Chains A and B, each alone.
Chain A
Amino acid sequence: MEITKKVRGGDVRAATRLIRNLEDRIPHAKDTIKHIFSHTGKAHVIGFTGSPGAGKSTMIDSVVAELRKRDKTVGVLLVDPTSPFTGGAILGDRIRMQRHALDPGVFVRSLATRGALGGLSKAVGDAIHVMDAMGKDYVIVETVGTGQQEVDIINHAHTVVVVLVPGMGDEIQAIKAGILEIADVFVINKADRDGAGKLYRELVYMLSMVDEFPGGWKPPIIRAENIFDADSFQRSLDELTNTIGQHYQNLIDKGLLGDRIRRKAVLELNEALLAAILDPVLTKLVESGEMKEMTEKLLKKETDPYTLAEMIASRYLVMPAE
């Protein structure tokens, strides 16, 4: 296929259009993924997550600069939220990394969440495959500004960087489940501000309560401060870039990379299966008007969602006898 060849050759126009078709869920885009899938799996996928304004985009910009110094090519996927009211979005992460716009070794693409709740867009998984197939050495994914629960990045990234800033709450925040559990590397950004020492101590305390880390990797805590002192900021970002590399190497050395990749594979199969089974059924129900009838019945309390779902499932799903 022409498009497959173009994407594998690193053609940005073909790749960005393919990502758009994936976002818009155009059926033939799926066919292209079928063709490129076997060529993926070479890139190191790095996720950046953290609350809005923590400095994710700025960090990524500096990490990209460092990776480019080391002659590595980078794809960057930036996710920002879609308005639940209008379906529109402002994708503004790119502002922080426009200095790489003319570098052919860097491909930056913004995506809107389009209603997905886990901090990413549904198309991100496939968009990573696209950049991977283009031959990028690294694919960096920035999640939306997260709260506590947006942890989908763990299903896609080999290394997850959680960016924190001082002054976000007391020590109870640090022992909650969710975002802090998924970190492979912590960054305390704006570490020249009040409360940075306290945040550092809370993280150390939280990590000290963990008995055993997978692969013996205890998430390091890196401090980044004073972006206006460009040299010192870039030095902390060099440290971050090195640490990200060490984490990946540790995954390989301890045989854990497979676990991460397997997690994504299971998820992708789940999602593809769900779409393959559900989409045609839903389309039929909507087109035949049956969906509307059933909704009415539900409103009148004549039946319940479980009975209807079982009825529909028994109509379309023929399970082979055991």
Chain B
Amino acid sequence: MAKRKLRIMVAKPGLDGHDRGARVLARCFRDAGYETIYTGCHQTPEQIAAAAIQEDIDCVGLSCMSGAHKYLFPECVKQIRALGGDDIQIIGGGIIPKQDYQLLYDAGLKGIFTPGITLDDIVAWINENIVPNVKE
């Protein structure tokens, strides 16, 4: 029997169009052996949540460079939970000041990744903390 594959989604909520980071991450997740869904820029939290549910995602990675993370990230968590995605882990990254971390953790984010961290570190973190949310 094949091993369970991790399904991960890279999403950019809001009006921020700086998607190089998201694309690099998508590529990095591919190389880590995950099935990676990329939804593109300018997504509403509702769209991201619906896509995560339809695609049976284990972990949603949100990217935001515009400073709107304090609104957008918690809203994404809320919408994903509202659609019944209780077992979907949510992480975020981008330009996020240290003083905002606690607010985002409190909102339900499991990890926050900002400039300076290496791709290897992110993959290592995911391998340690995210498991496919399927029960046999």
Q: Is the pair B33, A87 in contact by a Cβ cutoff of 8 Å?
A: yes
Q: Is the pair A109, B46 in contact by a Cβ cutoff of 8 Å?
A: no
* Binary B-proximity of A23-66 (CB < 8 A = 1, otherwise 0): 11111000000000000000000000000000000000000000
Q: Is the pair B7, A13 in contact by a Cβ cutoff of 8 Å?
A: no
B56: chain A residues within 8 A (beta carbon): 13, 16-17, 19-20, 109
Please tell me if A12 contacts chain B, counting CB pairs below 8 Å. Answer: yes
Q: Is the pair B7, A20 in contact by a Cβ cutoff of 8 Å?
A: yes
Chain A 98-119 residues near chain B, CB threshold 8 A: 98, 101-102, 107-110, 112, 114
Please tell me if A147 contacts chain B, counting CB pairs below 8 Å. Answer: no
Please tell me if A92 contacts chain B, counting CB pairs below 8 Å. Answer: yes
Given the known A-B contacts A19-B56, A88-B29, A107-B54, are A98 and B39 also in contact in the complex, defined by CB atoms under 8 Å?
yes
Task: With CB as the reference atom, state the residue of chain B lying closest to A16.
Answer: B56
Q: Is the pair A89, B35 in contact by a Cβ cutoff of 8 Å?
A: yes
Given the known A-B contacts A24-B4, A26-B136, A91-B35, are A16 and B54 also in contact in the complex, defined by CB atoms under 8 Å?
yes
Q: Is the pair A83, B31 in contact by a Cβ cutoff of 8 Å?
A: yes
Query: Closest Cβ of chain B: how far from A293's Cβ, in Å?
Result: 23
Chain A 211-264 residues near chain B, CB threshold 8 A: none
Q: Is the pair A25, B51 in contact by a Cβ cutoff of 8 Å?
A: no
Task: Give the contact-size bracket for chain A.
Answer: 20 to 34
Chain A 103-153 residues near chain B, CB threshold 8 A: 107-110, 112, 114
Tally the A-B contacts, defined by beta carbons under 8 Å: 97
A102: chain B residues within 8 A (beta carbon): 46-47, 50
Q: Is the pair A26, B55 in contact by a Cβ cutoff of 8 Å?
A: no
Query: Closest Cβ of chain A: how far from B31's Cβ, in Å?
Result: 5
Task: Tell me, in angstroms, the Cα distance from A91 to B136 when the chains sit together.
Answer: 25
Task: With CB as the reference atom, state the residue of chain A lying closest to B36.
Answer: A90
Q: Is the pair B84, A13 in contact by a Cβ cutoff of 8 Å?
A: yes
A27: chain B residues within 8 A (beta carbon): 1
Query: Closest Cβ of chain B: how far from A102's Cβ, in Å?
Result: 6
Task: Tell me, in angstroms, the Cα distance from A87 to B33 when the chains sit together.
Answer: 5
Please tell me if A276 contacts chain B, counting CB pairs below 8 Å. Answer: no
A23: chain B residues within 8 A (beta carbon): 5
* Binary A-proximity of B77-115 (CB < 8 A = 1, otherwise 0): 000000010000000000000000000000000000000
Q: Is the pair B53, A94 in contact by a Cβ cutoff of 8 Å?
A: no
Chain B 1-51 residues near chain A, CB threshold 8 A: 1-5, 7, 26-27, 29-40, 43, 46-47, 50-51
Task: Tell me, in angstroms, the Cα distance from A42 to B32 when the chains sit together.
Answer: 39
Task: Tell me, in angstroms, the Cα distance from A101 to B29 when the chains sit together.
Answer: 23
Please tell me if B134 contacts chain A, counting CB pairs below 8 Å. Answer: yes
Task: With CB as the reference atom, state the residue of chain B lying closest to A91.
Answer: B37
Please tell me if A21 contacts chain B, counting CB pairs below 8 Å. Answer: yes
* Binary B-proximity of A73-98 (CB < 8 A = 1, otherwise 0): 00000000011001111111011001
Task: Tell me, in angstroms, the Cα distance from A219 to B1 when the chains sit together.
Answer: 42
Q: Residues on B close to A: CB < 8 A?
A: 1-5, 7, 26-27, 29-40, 43, 46-47, 50-51, 53-56, 84, 134, 136
* Smallest CB-CB A-B distances: 10 pairs: A95-B40, A88-B30, A101-B47, A16-B56, A101-B50, A88-B33, A87-B33, A91-B37, A86-B33, A90-B30
Q: Beyond A12-B54, A109-B54: 8 further Cβ-contacts under 8 Å?
A: A16-B55, A87-B5, A88-B31, A91-B36, A91-B38, A95-B39, A110-B37, A112-B35
In the assembled complex, 18 residue pairs joining A and B whose CB atoms fall closer than 8 Å, in A order, are A13-B56, A16-B56, A17-B56, A20-B56, A20-B134, A21-B134, A82-B35, A83-B30, A86-B32, A88-B34, A91-B38, A91-B55, A95-B38, A98-B40, A101-B46, A101-B51, A102-B47, A112-B5
